[in-house]
């Protein structure tokens, strides 16, 4: 079974600065997808970024980028120029080709952006 671990329960960052959220996972599959989701106080889950394991290039979406290290099974999220609206819970998630293509979530990191 896959597991996803987020080792930072809470983090804070000053507005306009950069923060990196950590995520590691364990799987025996060679092809899979990794995701970062944001859950603001409204509790709506929002996709931040997605990475396909067979792609070596790290995914980027505006101020959000990932550092995908397949051999180390690491998938960190970097948020540049942090904004107050980035305050939220962030969940790392894994989807393999087995187990019905379900998402496996990490425990989450609560990020607070301070003015």
Partner 1 sequence: GAVVSQHPSRVICKSGTSVKIECRSLDFQATTMFWYRQFPKQSLMLMATSNEGSKATYEQGVEKDKFLINHASLTLSTLTVTSAHPEDSSFYICSARETGGVHYTFGSGTRLTVV
Applying CB under 8 A, which part among 20-28, 41-49, 59-67, 77-85 lies near partner 1?
A: 41-49
| DSSP run (H or E) holding 24 | strand 24-26
Contact status, residue 22 vs residue 76, Cβ threshold 8 Å = yes
Shortest distance, position 16 Cβ to partner 1, whole Å: 27
Contact status, residue 89 vs residue 108, Cβ threshold 8 Å = yes
Shortest distance, position 77 Cβ to partner 1, whole Å: 16
Q: Binding of partner 1 at residue 108 (CB under 8 A)?
A: yes
How far from chain centre, in Å, is Cα 53? 14
Pair type for strands 60-61 and 10-14: unpaired
Shortest distance, position 91 Cβ to partner 1, whole Å: 6
Taking the C-alpha atoms of residue 11 and residue 72, their distance in angstroms, rounded to an integer, is 23
Residues numbered 42-101 forming contacts with partner 1, rule: CB under 8 A: 42-45, 47, 50, 91, 95, 100-101
Interface residue list for partner 1 (CB under 8 A)? 33, 35, 42-45, 47, 50, 91, 95, 100-103, 105-108, 110
């Amino acid at each position: 079974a896959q597991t996803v671990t987020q080792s930072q329960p809470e983090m804070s960052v000053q507005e306009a600065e950069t923060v990196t959220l950590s995520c590691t996972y364990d799987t025996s599959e060679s092809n899979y997808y990794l995701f970062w989701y944001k859950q603001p106080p409204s509790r709506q889950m929002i996709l931040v970024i997605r990475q396909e394991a067979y792609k070596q290039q790290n995914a980027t979406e505006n101020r959000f980028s990932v550092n995908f290290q397949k051999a180390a099974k690491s998938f960190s999220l970097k948020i540049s120029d942090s904004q107050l609206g980035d305050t939220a819970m962030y969940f790392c998630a894994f989807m393999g080709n087995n187990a019905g293509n379900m998402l496996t979530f990490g425990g989450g990191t609560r990020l607070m952006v301070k003015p």
